[in-house]
Structure 1
Amino acid sequence: MKQIQQTWGGIPFSTRHLQSYRLYKAVRGFDSRFLPMPLYDPSIIRVLNPKEDAAVFVNKGLFERLFSELKQPQCFFKRINSNFYVQGYQVADLDYIIDYWTTLGSFVIKPSKNSHGGVGVRVFNRHITKDEAILLIQEYKDDFLVQEVVRQHDETSVFNKTSINTIRIISLYLNGRVSILRSSLRIGLPGSVVDNAGAGGIMVGLDEYGRLFDFGITQTFEKIWLTANGIEFSGRRVTAFPKIRKIVIENHAFLYPTLGMVAWDFAVGADGSPIFLEGNTKVPGIFWIQFCTGPIFGERTQEVVNYCKSNNDIYF
């Protein structure tokens, strides 16, 4: 407890913090630099990512415009604030959208705001009828996107073919320097179309060269060394990962200049090219990635503590 309080600048201590450390210690051993969620939000992330700035980047329907420099899945159409748009931001009426939707042989539909953990993501590998299109519009009451189904590279699909197994990479932009904090490969369960740990998926750490760690972590905090289909993590590598790291390091300060911390999600296309899926800014997820890779801020922990103490005394 003394080490934890010393690491995090004498924060008020509670049993809520202790529970997080018990979990991390059971899986990875004790390290006072692990960041418990009751401290992360609001004491840390609200300073690194002010709410008013983080909110700018929440709606995925704006990603085509905000991140046009990055390769993204083709968006067939979207709904933003009750309006439909095709070909970027050309307004379309409901009848056109329904007719157009029935021509798509495959697509992904997902909420574009107020969503997390893969909730609401569905994949269709067939044409739908007009009645089905109407039902989907009614079901997704808020903003949503309809995008192409990404065909992923063999290096990631080998772990589970029903989900797009994505790269989660968390970056820190602080005191004029961008660095990669933690990185992982997220793998879905057989039959699942999403790979999020909260949805039962597996998270496996990646080193700076894209080599997988020997073990992954499940939703039940279990260490595992191979997937349900018998693929071992040890010795595997995502060769596109150095390209993804480079994209993040070169673009954090440019695309997210007001935010200190971003959790980026990338897929690896069939041709090996990185495909940007989203950037998580409101409360970038750190809980599971710490289990499989270690304390989130690593060697920059003290720097983060000093910054947060200097910029928001209310929490310290």
Structure 2
Amino acid sequence: MIKLVIKKKINILLQKYRIARKRHIEIRKFKDPKRIKIYSQIELTEKQKKQIDDFYLSNYGKKIPYTWHRYFTAFTGSFDPQYFPELLFIPEFERYMNPNQSYVNVFADKNVLAAIAAGVGVRMPKSVVSSVNNILLDKEYRLIDWNSLETLLGEGEYFAKPTVDSDSGRGCRLLDCKNNNMLHALKKMGCDFVVQEKIVCSESISRLHPASVNTLRIMTYVWKEKIAVAPVIMRIGRNGSFLDNAHAGGMFIAVNNDGSLHKYAFTEFRERFYEHPDTKIIFEGYVIKNLEKVIKEAIRMHSALSQLGVINWDFTIDKNEEPILIEANTSGGSIWLFQIAWGRGVFGENTAEILQWMRGNRV
């Protein structure tokens, strides 16, 4: 009995430490001079500060710093007391929603995710070769060796990416098998990676920036025994880059339920565009077809991964107008993307109850 009590106290202390460490990371991000420059341009009124204090005190039980509200407001000029700071999202909301770190890690593995997606009929890019813990496999999961890899790939063009411990496009690369350095490039990718056929996006997605696979970011979360969907955004590449990630220089924009884009796309550090700087396509009213199909597939995938309470999905739509799942982000969800793009809190009418729930889970 004493051992159980001690174990429980140790677990509580560990959880408090992990939350404090994550909070410190989020606070440190806003010591970046680029971010300081952005939020310093906005001073909240006393009325706005009171709205934030009242809302968070009554639901979360504590006041929060105004930094995130200033930052989000600076992008669009839209103030919302229900903006949800990353100070609470990653350290607490994600941790409470996804308490088992083993599931978080396993489902983030793109090689594992592909097998689950195939089992529920959700399409992902076709895998040609994968490496799992330094073991090479073909698309039928048969063992192969490096000597046969070049023959297997032929002279095609592929997309290679790490399958674990990767984010923001880090480590991703385009492979041209006519290049004699292809095997060397793959060997530098580590023990866990996948080589996929290149995706050809639908016309409505490709036209925005043909060089990149532009993706729809969809956050789903389990709430009141249902899978809720946050407001959708789209990430778009620029400057000829094959990456669309905001951290890699891409832009992001809000997408209405009918697939139409909002007026402005943003970059991570507050560049704002009403048209794409490369293709000159005007964003406002431009329609991405078949968004509703993507949302249905995201919900289906979350049902298959119901061990987790919140997941950020990256989807695109292929040349046949069908959804393609790119990856699942099971931790470190970038809710700032949604809130900047939409100019309002990511959880909308659920925000108060979510804060109350977090208050009840607080250790």
TM-score (structure 1 length as normaliser): 0.91
- 8 Å CA contact retained: 2:176, 2:182: no
Match of 2:192 among 126, 133, 143: 143
Given residue 308 of structure 1, which amino acid in structure 2 is its aligned partner? M
Q: Which residue of 1 aligns with 2:211?
A: 162
Structure 1: state its 5+ residue gaps: none
2:148 alignment partner, one of 59, 83, 96: 96
Q: 1:26-175 to 2 correspondence within 5 Å? A: 26-28=74-76, 29-50=78-99, 51-68=101-118, 69-101=121-153, 103-129=154-180, 132-175=181-224
Cα distance, 1:219–1:90 mapped onto 2, change above 3 Å: same
Q: Does 1:302 align with 2:352?
A: yes
- Percent identity reads 25
1:246 matched to 2:296? The reply is: yes
Secondary structure of the structure 2 residue equivalent to 1:30: coil
Match of 1:182 in 2: 231
Contact 1:216 1:224 in 2 (8 A): yes
Q: SS state of the match for residue 230, structure 2?
A: strand
| Preserved CA contact (<8 Å) 2:246 2:252 | yes
Aligned to 2:38: none
2:261, 2:74 → 1: CA distance? Answer: 21
Q: How does 1:284-295 map to 2 (within 5 A)?
A: 284-293=333-342, 294-295=344-345
Count matched residues: 307
Quote how far apart the aligned CAs of 1:195 are: 0.3
Structure 2: distance between partners of 1:32 and 1:2? 9
Distance 1:46 1:104, change over 3 A: farther
Find the aligned partners of 2:66 and 2:149 in 1 and give their Cα distance.
52
State the SS of the aligned residue for 2:351.
helix
- Larger fraction in helix: 2
* Larger of the two Rg values belongs to structure: 2
* Code of the aligned partner of 1:82: N
- Structure 2 portions without partners, runs of 5+: 1-48
SS of the residue corresponding to residue 284 of structure 1 reads: coil
Displacement after TM superposition at 1:13 (Å): 4.6
Provide the rounded CA distance (Å) in 2 between the counterparts of 1:86 and 1:7.
54
Letter matched to residue 293 of structure 2: K
- Tell me, yes or no, if structure 1 residue 19 matches structure 2 residue 19: no
**Which is strand-richer, 1 or 2?**
1
Cα deviation, residue 118, structure 1: 0.9
**Rounded Cα–Cα distance in structure 2 between residues aligned with 1:170 and 1:259:** 12
Deviation at residue 125 of structure 1 after TM alignment: 4.5
Cα displacement (A) at 1:148: 0.5
Structure 2 Cα separation of the partners of residues 7 and 92 of structure 1: 58
